[in-house]
Amino acid sequence: MTVTSTIAAPPINAINNRARASYARGYSKTLSLMLIAPLVLLMGFGFLYPVGKLLIGSLFAPEFGLEQFRRLIRSPLYLTVLLRTFEIAFAVTIASLFIGYPIAFAMAKLPRRWAALTTVCVLIPLWTSTLVRSYAWIVLLQRKGVVNELLLNLGWITQPLRLIYTEGAVIMAMTHVLLPYMILPIFAAVHAIPKELGQAARNLGAGGTSAFWRIMLPLSLPGVFAGCLMTFILALGFYVTPALVGGPRTMLMATLIGQQTTETLDWAFAGALSTVLLAATLTFVIAFRKTLSLNRGFAGVA
């Protein structure tokens, strides 16, 4: 625009500028609020309110104080359950990572037809109900289940093994259920790495293995972290699978909380347990993020 037109017609210019400025910002404030309002309301009524009530309830029974929390600390049982919950969530995360990474990597690197097939295999479990998948594990692992039958028939064992209701069974079943949550973020990260980076590494003298360790793996780490975090958090609060496959001897926090609300109807204590689980989870997440943000190299990648 020339100088003369600016001087001759300042209002038009001003209008133009304003239009451009609001365009750059996107939507107006009112519109944005209207757009997010349903979500905020849903979060407020469906999540924050009941959870808040549960948490606060734990502080007012029988009267205001930390009685419920003291109860929690007094009994070693509850701490054992908390500790076991973290242990199992950790084991599930590690197992998912080691099984999931190669699958995710293959999904991103295989020729298109094979990649599509693998993706379907990964996603089908996600579309099936967790309940169904957990029962599938019971069918496999129970005393007269498929695995025991097979081993007996092969003559490798003489007595049925105790497979179900063990920690191992819980870890295995949870890993199976949560695996897609590990695979998908890693797949997304590997898929987003430009093909040229791998080629450049090879061209610059790296063999296939060192190209992987030095280029592909570091660049896929954001996906690995996202997958681990998601799997870990989901595992911490997992209810159905441990309840079905684990039995009473491998009780986890979620099952314990469920018992308090449905069987003993001790809502105050359930609130205290929930508070502890939530606090532990948040602490873990924050610590995790802190560690990552301290690592400068990943700031550039993520």
- Contact residues: another protein, CB under 8 A: 194, 196-197, 199-207, 210, 214-215, 218-219, 297-298, 300-301
Which residue's CB is nearer to another protein, number 17 or number 203? 203
Kindly state the smallest distance separating residue 211's Cβ from another protein, in Å: 8
Q: Give the chain's length.
A: 302
Kindly state the smallest distance separating residue 33's Cβ from another protein, in Å: 34
Which residue's CB is nearer to another protein, number 27 or number 213? 213
Which residue's CB is nearer to another protein, number 38 or number 205? 205
Which residue's CB is nearer to another protein, number 62 or number 297? 297
Query: For residue 218, what is the enclosing H or E element?
Result: helix 217-236
Which residue's CB is nearer to another protein, number 112 or number 144? 112
Kindly state the smallest distance separating residue 173's Cβ from another protein, in Å: 36
Give the angle subtended at the CA of 285 by the CAs of 281 and 289, to the nearest 5°: 170
The rounded Cα 238 to chain-centroid distance in angstroms is 11
| Helix and strand counts by DSSP (H, E) for the chain | 17, 0
Kindly state the smallest distance separating residue 291's Cβ from another protein, in Å: 17
Say how far apart CA 115 and CA 96 lie, in whole Å: 19
Q: 67: alpha, beta or left, given left = phi > 0 and alpha = psi -120 to 50?
A: alpha
| Lookup result for tokens 């109900």 | 129
Helix, strand, coil percentages (3-state) for the chain, rounded to 5, are 80, 0, 20
Spatial CA neighbour of 193 closest among 221, 226, 227 = 221
Which residue's CB is nearer to another protein, number 200 or number 285? 200
Kindly state the smallest distance separating residue 219's Cβ from another protein, in Å: 6
Say how far apart CA 28 and CA 30 lie, in whole Å: 6
CB of 199 within 8 A of CB of 239? Answer: no
Which residue's CB is nearer to another protein, number 3 or number 204? 204
Kindly state the smallest distance separating residue 296's Cβ from another protein, in Å: 9
Give the angle subtended at the CA of 227 by the CAs of 221 and 232, to the nearest 5°: 125
Kindly state the smallest distance separating residue 299's Cβ from another protein, in Å: 9
